[in-house]
Amino acid sequence: MPSSQSLIFIQNIVEAPSRTFHSFAQWREDNQETVLTRTMQLIREFGIPLRKIQLKTLNAFLEHCSFEYDERVQEKWAVLLANAVTATNQIKSHYTFMELLRQLSYEELKMLDFLFEDSFIQFNNERTFFNKAFFLQVYVNELHMSYQDAEIALENIHRLGLLEYARPKIDQSKWLTEQEPEILYPANIRLSLLGMYFTRECNQLV
């Protein structure tokens, strides 16, 4: 348990809601309660039929959502849990999704949302490729990120397997010469299948 002086120091260096917190435990419990309340509201509002989930899935939810105070990300946690306990949902990989969600920032989630919405609303339900440089510039402007942070965010999404690059191509024009064929790496990106299912489960009730 940090001392009162340590808590004052922590409050000065940590991004947190405007309310003062007197202990980490209470702060985490408040976040848990906020997300659980929202989940129950969704279940009641949409009449969701329930199923049981594994204890490790519930534990992952309670553990990881307790650190999230951003209301926009809390909403994704609530939708994800609601989908996890929906009896008619054919997907049961929500433990995996919760482990992914805990590793993503709001900005990274917005990038995934953009890829999902533009792919599946504008382009007839296909995982469409986007030019990486253009995509990064859009998010540097929209989210007021530095270009370096935007690149790091995109690479984190790729590290988690939620994003994929276009397959490399071989420059066949050099086959007719004595030059070594060059491998070309297209700078185009799109959601992976995992990214598609993950983003959908965090945003849309099934």
Q: Give me the DSSP letters along the chain.
A: ---HHHHHHHHHHS---SS--S-HHHHHHHHHHHHHHHHHHHHHHHTPPB----HHHHHHHHHHHTT---HHHHHHHHHHHHHHTBTT-----HHHHHHHHTT--HHHHHHHHHHHHHHHHHSTT----EEHHHHHHHHHHHTT--HHHHHHHHHHHHHTTSEEEPPPEE-GGGGGSSSPPPEE---EEEE-HHHHHHHHHHH---
The mean pLDDT of 58-62, rounded to a whole number, is 96
Tell me what pLDDT residue 19 has. Answer: 56
Instruction: Read off the tokens for 142.
Output: 């929209």
**For residues 165 and 185, is the Cβ–Cβ distance under 8 A?**
yes
Higher pLDDT, 189 or 180: 189
59 and 152 in a single domain? The answer is: no
200 and 127 in a single domain? The answer is: yes
pLDDT over 70 for what percent of the chain? 82
Tell me what pLDDT residue 21 has. Answer: 58
Q: Which of 2-11, 102-111, 162-171, 178-187 is predicted most confidently?
A: 102-111
156 and 166 in a single domain? The answer is: yes
148 and 186 in a single domain? The answer is: yes
Helices 193-203 and 94-101, interaxial angle, to 10°?
Answer: 90
77 and 97 in a single domain? The answer is: yes
Tell me what pLDDT residue 4 has. Answer: 72
Mean pLDDT over the full length of the chain: 86
The mean pLDDT of 88-104, rounded to a whole number, is 97
Cβ neighbours for 94, distance < 8 A, ≥ 6 positions apart? 53, 57, 80, 81, 83, 84, 201
9 and 33 in a single domain? The answer is: yes
97 and 136 in a single domain? The answer is: no
Residue where a domain stops, chosen among 102, 119, 150: 102
Higher pLDDT, 85 or 117: 85
97 and 114 in a single domain? The answer is: no
Residue where a domain stops, chosen among 71, 102, 133: 102
Q: Quickly count: other Cβ atoms within 10 Å of residue 22's Cβ.
A: 9
Q: What is the pLDDT of residues 120-179, one digit of tens each?
A: 654 455 688 888 888 888 888 888 889 999 999 999 999 999 999 887 665 555 555 556
| Number of compact structural domains in the chain | 2
pLDDT over 90 for what percent of the chain? 59
Left if phi > 0, otherwise alpha if psi is -120 to 50, otherwise beta: which for 47?
left
96 and 153 in a single domain? The answer is: no
92 and 157 in a single domain? The answer is: no
Question: Which residues constitute the domain of residue 2?
Answer: 1-102
| CATH number of the domain within which 190 lies | 1.10.10.10
Tell me what pLDDT residue 123 has. Answer: 45
The mean pLDDT of 13-41, rounded to a whole number, is 83
13 and 79 in a single domain? The answer is: yes
165 and 187 in a single domain? The answer is: yes
